[in-house]
Amino acid sequence: MSSIGKASPGSSPKTSSVAAASSPPPPSSSPSSSSSPAASSASFSRASVEKVVDLAEQAAAEAEVEAAKAREVARAAGDAACRASAAAHFASLQDAKTEEIIEETDRVVAETEK
């Protein structure tokens, strides 16, 4: 019998085409091309980390400046509160003094009318 046109036992044309389609692609022949993406990824990652660190340091420096400004504003507010308190105390003393003057004036007027 002739074997032309007949499939060999244990394999069929369908199975051999499926096996060929699902086999992995051959590895790259250039070793530098396979390590280059990893190296550039590491370099990119390091650059990204350095940029984040720089931005964090810049933000920290700006936060220190803002904190110093806030302390200065708080100090000024405290000073203003002290001055306001002193002014209120002075006004209270003046009010009491004015009240004494009014009472003394009323007394003198009453004595004068007698």
What ranges do the domains of the chain cover? 40-113
pLDDT tens digits for range 35-65: 566 666 777 788 899 999 999 999 999 999 9
- Segment among 12-16, 80-84, 106-110 with least mean pLDDT: 12-16
Task: Give the pLDDT score at 24.
Answer: 52
Tally of residues, the chain: 114
Task: Give the pLDDT score at 38.
Answer: 66
Give me the sign of the Cα torsion angle 92, 96, 99, 101. negative
Give the model's confidence band at 33: pLDDT under 50 very low, under 70 low, under 90 confident, else very high. very low
Give the model's confidence band at 20: pLDDT under 50 very low, under 70 low, under 90 confident, else very high. very low
Q: Report how far residue 48's alpha carbon sits from residue 56's, in angstroms, rounded to the nearest whole number.
A: 12
Mean pLDDT of the chain, nearest integer: 79
Give the model's confidence band at 79: pLDDT under 50 very low, under 70 low, under 90 confident, else very high. very high
Give me the sign of the Cα torsion angle 61, 66, 68, 71. negative
Q: Report how far residue 37's alpha carbon sits from residue 109's, in angstroms, rounded to the nearest whole number.
A: 105
Task: Give the pLDDT score at 53.
Answer: 96
Please check the confidence at residue 19 and state whether its pLDDT lies above 90. Answer: no
Task: Give the pLDDT score at 110.
Answer: 94
